[in-house]
Structure 1
Amino acid sequence: MEGTRSGRGRGRGSRQPATEGATRETMPEPNPKTQIDPNVQVAAAIQRMTDLLVHVVQQQGHNPNPPVGNPGNPGNHVESEDRALERFQKFSPPKFLGGPDPDVAEQWLEKMIDIFAALHYSEERQVTFVVFQLEGAARSWWNIIRTKLEREQTPRTWVNFVREFNAKYFPPLVQEKKEDEFIRLRQGTQSVAKCES
């Protein structure tokens, strides 16, 4: 009778062969493939990191100013241009159609200057993006100016764009009038400051 009791006592009859056999079946046997020395794993990870760092250093040697992101992906420059254009468009820059009204041209140019002051883009990028806002006669004007700049090998900088824009949309008479207004405004401000002191 003692051999039929389960789990109590220390005698030979306390073990149940059926249960013992089931336990052996459910315990997985160790797989020699999954037991890799942790030191080997660490060494392999360090080697991968070292290889990656060597690759990065080599890339920087070839291109001292790599684009942000994956250095092996040539599309990054395009992506950064796209993101920059999205940021520019978030300011809702107005379109410019051209025309004879210098006040419209001045307001448009001032708005562009304000946007670029906030974005801190390079001069070349500013010209690239401002051209997106030109339509109709203004776009036709820019196409002529662009060809002229290329022919003369003049860089497309913001300063050159503004110079050409002013020459087209602010004739000398208008420019003189604006300068006179500025001088009168400045003198008026100085007169007020003198009166207040």
Structure 2
Amino acid sequence: MTNILARLVEQQGQAPVNQPRDPEMGQDRALERFQKFSPSKFLGGPDPEAAKRWLEAMINIFVTLNYTEDKQVHFAIFQFEGPARTWWNVIRAKWKREGTAWTLVNFVREFNEKYLPPIVQEKREDEFIKLRQGTLSISEYETQFTKLSKFALELITTEQRRVRRFVQGLNVEIQEA
């Protein structure tokens, strides 16, 4: 069993034996695999929650598929339509002019600047700061904590600070226990 797993890991980056090694065919296969997840199209618009959900769905797909960052950006923009496509054309020209690398980090930064403006991010940071367990179950509280924590990363720079902030938001009787 160990030998089989070792051979699978060894072959992971290689093209399958019975598949053509044409790079365009590999790209087609990659797009086909991506589309099997039925990713939603993104039109843009004023709803930051919809933008956040779309971006999180894309990132989840990319984590599963383990594609290169360049391919992740190309497949994400493949899902743009209408105003989002128009916005992206402007960003693409800017990236070309400035020589910006096609990385997911750069894409997410641009996307967030456009669709999650600072006022929305500040609001989420405030929600994180004010988050308390209250009537939430511990599981629900943990979900909210995790969801909002990405908007206040400077407050939880270490695991120790993250744990301390989490515990501070728990109900007093649970903190004491």
| Same fold flag (TM > 0.5) | yes
Partner of 1:90: 36
- Match of 1:99, SS state, is coil
Partner of 2:173: 195
Structure-1 separation of matches of 2:129 and 2:24 = 45
Offset of residue 140 of structure 1: 0.4
Aligned residues: 129
Structure 2 stretches of 5 or more lacking a match? Answer: 1-12, 132-144, 146-164
TM-score by length of 2: 0.66
Higher relative contact order (CA 8 A, sep 6+): 2
- Show CA shifts across 1:52-111 (max 9, x none): xxxxxxxxxxxxxx97368xx7x6111111111111101110110001111111111111
Please give the root-mean-square deviation of Cα atoms over the aligned residues, in Å.
2.2
1:130 aligns with 2:76: yes
Structure-2 separation of matches of 1:117 and 1:69 = 21
Offset of residue 189 of structure 1: 5.8
Offset of residue 156 of structure 1: 1.1
**Among 147, 167, 183, which residue is 2:129 paired with?**
183
**Among 153, 174, 178, which residue is 2:99 paired with?**
153
Offset of residue 121 of structure 1: 0.8
Partner of 2:109: 163
Offset of residue 179 of structure 1: 1.6
Structure-2 separation of matches of 1:124 and 1:183 = 35
- Match of 1:86, SS state, is helix
Tell me if structure 2 keeps the 8 A contact 1:67–1:77.
Answer: no
TM-score by length of 1: 0.60
- Identity score, percent: 57
